[in-house]
Amino acid sequence: MKTNKIIILSALLLSGTVILASCNKDDDTVPASVVYYQQQDQMGRPGINTVFVTSADKDAFNVTTPSGMGAAFQSKFQTQLLALNPGYTTNALTQTASQLTTLIATDVLNVSLTDPTTFFDGVNVLTGRKLDDDVIDVELLLIFGGPTGASNPNLTKDNVNANDKAFSASFPYLATPF
């Protein structure tokens, strides 16, 4: 019995020593730094950032909140649009250069709760986006297609007409990986 008490007392004394030794007030260790995350890329609408934001403006565009994008980038987008298509008058939605670039400078996906979900179906535009919407063709049509959509026919399609794999019929609806 006396041996058990000595062993228990020795264990308590040893653990107390370890605890006290680890509580050094003069400890110079610096706590782990706080990690802050920053958005790296703004891609509400595919291709907009890639085509309309110059490399000098990428960082600023990617961290600008949507409410400030129009004021900060619309005129730059319009300059870029007219450089890409100097003959731009209106597009298939009858938008002027100013109207189109005002719309796309705020890089968010709009969603309609009452209209069909589509990027553009000939009637509805930017009411959401289905996985199989050909968004690059729509953007090319709006930039280069002119008032009827028939101008510059070689510039209004990317000739990628379908996903390489079928989308799933159940959530999350994406195609299976290779």
pLDDT at 42: 75
> Is residue 175 included in any domain, yes or no?
no
Output the six-digit token pair for 44. 């509400």
Does the residue 26 lie in any domain?
Answer: no
Q: In the predicted model, is pLDDT for residue 18 greater than 50?
A: no
Task: Confirm whether 151 is domain-assigned.
Answer: yes
**pLDDT given for residue 85 in this prediction:** 95
Domain coverage including residue 70: 48-155
The total number of structural domains in the chain stands at 1
Token pair for 107: 């890089």
> pLDDT per residue over 66-116, tens digit each?
999 999 999 999 999 999 999 999 999 899 999 999 999 998 888 888 888
DSSP 3-state of 139: helix
The residues, ordered by sequence, that sit 6+ positions from 44 with a Cβ below 8 Å of its Cβ are 66, 107, 108, 109
Does residue 118 lie within any of the structural domains?
yes
Burial class of residue 1, CB neighbours in 10 A (0-12, 13-18, 19+): exposed
Mean pLDDT score across all residues of the chain: 82
pLDDT tier for residue 175 given thresholds of 50, 70 and 90: confident
33 found inside a domain: no
> Whose CA is closest to 133, among 59, 47, 53?
47
Which of 30-39, 42-51, 76-85 is modeled with the greatest confidence? 76-85
pLDDT digits (tens, 9 = 90+) for 119-154: 887 777 788 888 888 889 999 999 999 999 899 999
